[in-house]
A and B are shown apart, each in its own frame.
Chain A
Amino acid sequence: MARHTVCARDDIVVGELTPVTLDGGISIVLFRSQFDEIRAFSGVCPHQGARLEFGCVSHLTQGDEANMITVDTGVQILRCPWHGFAFDMQTGHPVVKNAKRQHLRLKIYDVEIDNDQVVVVA
């Protein structure tokens, strides 16, 4: 594993997906939450390779009755810009699991803050 200093902490806007490329060409998207936590994900969707910097971050919808949807603010999801596949940002697991198909787990990288610089461990 290598430590990659990718940008200054303040370069990342809260709520936006920020793309960076690590040495060696690994694509990453960084996300800074409203609680100031910075997380790093693969920048490429494991489904068909879409660039996740164009995706969106939202919350999981829930509901037991047709046409009654609520938003579960406890689960944040990253959705692919192409097909809308959704990944749990805490675990990287797909929201819809399909045991008979490729698992499609989104890779999550460790992030460290070093002198206000964002360091991705990959």
Chain B
Amino acid sequence: MPIIDTDVHESFASLQDLVPYLADPYKDWIASGAWRGFSQPFCYTSPGNGNRADVKSPDGSPSASDPNLLKELVLDKYDITYAVLTGYFYPTMLKLQYGLASALARAYNDYVVDHWLTVDDRLLGSIQVFARDPQAAAREIDRMADHPGMRQVMLPVVDDIAYGDPHYRPIFEAAERNRLQVAFHHTVLAEGPYGMGLHYMERHALLPTAMMSQVISLICNGTFDNYPNLKFIVLEGGFTWLPSVMWRLDREYRQGRVEVPWIKKLPSEHCRERLKLATQPTEDLRSDEWEKIVDLMGTDDILVFATDYPHFDFDDPDASIPHNLSADLREKIMWKNAASFYDLSMPPASAIAAE
């Protein structure tokens, strides 16, 4: 069976890798070590310090910076058809120095093209932007959109941005005019409604609430209605919450449409038609629980598979999605829904049948 992995993290080995792609003054700033880069505001508690402990580059560099390791441990090992690179470095986390942040996004995109997208045809890319300057982000989207490997715009979920705010519309306009999709992935700044909690486990368990907030913001502020050709994907944000959010939004819309007449459809219809949720981390559901959740969603078109390589909560393609799901559902999750979302050419039907 083909497999499309919708969430694989790539990175540079150090910020210095971006220096060749920067122009002065930012080139000089980064080259001189004037910024040490982002750091998570907590300790990881997994054996591999946030990554799989068994994933190590031969030269000791961060595992996420080695495309050959990704090829060996994911693409080849599981015979992945396509894997979507979703990044590790999100300039939107910078809250000042907008010029630097936009330059870093631009440099990172060029770095990814040179060091990742050219390495293997199975790799697809996400255009990274500095979302706090939506006009600059739109220019970056326009610049990168012609690259055939780039399939989506990545909007990182931080602690102070709800992307439905009209302020961010230039980004969605740019994505739509370039026929790209829009992805959301949390960052180390993402929070629940009362912050990160007091423990890593607490913070990690709260991440779906940040994604729920983004979906609610996008629906209520008309992003789905204003950009009818856009589709949206939520990565690593859970999926069992979607029925609840859809029910809640539909109910709120019935009683509160007077305030938001720009919403033209039931929120659940928007979600079913144009939202995808990645399965990782799968929460160890039994197959009957998978079937129930999909039934409650009202469509089997929403879920897409992801490994989240190389993170510690990696989902194994062979083990994380139960094999006793119906064949149709399993195929939709493992590749069909993502192939539709990203408009991907899949291997010929004969090759699929031969498996």
Taking Cβ atoms with an 8 Å cutoff, the residues of A that contact B are 58, 60-69, 79, 83-86, 94-96, 98, 100-101
Contacts and interface: CB of A to CB of B under 8 A. Distances in A.
A104 to B, nearest CB: 8
Contacts of A101: 250
A84 B256 contact: yes
Contact of B261 (A61, A84, A85, A100): A61
B261 A98 contact: no
Given A65-B262, A100-B298, A101-B250, 15 more contacts: A58-B258, A60-B261, A61-B258, A61-B261, A63-B261, A63-B262, A64-B225, A65-B222, A66-B260, A67-B166, A69-B259, A79-B258, A83-B254, A94-B254, A98-B250
Interface string B191-226: 000000000000000000000000000000110011
B224 to A, nearest CB: 11
B255 interface: yes
A69 B260 CA distance: 8
Nearest to A104: B254
A86 B253 contact: no
B257 interface: yes
B69 interface: no
Contacts of B254: 83, 85, 94, 96, 98
B171 to A, nearest CB: 15
B266 interface: yes
A16 B229 CA distance: 44
Contacts of B256: 84
Contacts of B253: 96
A66 B221 contact: yes
Interface string B229-260: 00000000000000000000010011111111
B266 A95 contact: no
18 contacts: A61-B258, A64-B262, A65-B222, A65-B226, A65-B262, A66-B166, A66-B222, A67-B166, A68-B262, A79-B258, A84-B255, A84-B258, A85-B255, A86-B258, A95-B257, A96-B254, A98-B266, A101-B250
Given A98-B250, A98-B266, A62 B258 contact: no
A96 B222 contact: no
A83 B226 CA distance: 27
A101 B254 CA distance: 11
A101 to B, nearest CB: 8
Contacts of A96: 253-254, 257, 266
Interface in B253-277: 253-262, 266, 268
A66 B262 contact: yes
Contact of A61 (B222, B226, B255, B257): B257
Contacts of B166: 66-67
Q: Which of B250, B262, B268 has the most CB of A within 10 A?
A: B262
B243 to A, nearest CB: 12
Contacts of A84: 255-256, 258
A69 B254 CA distance: 17
A118 to B, nearest CB: 30
B257 A83 contact: no
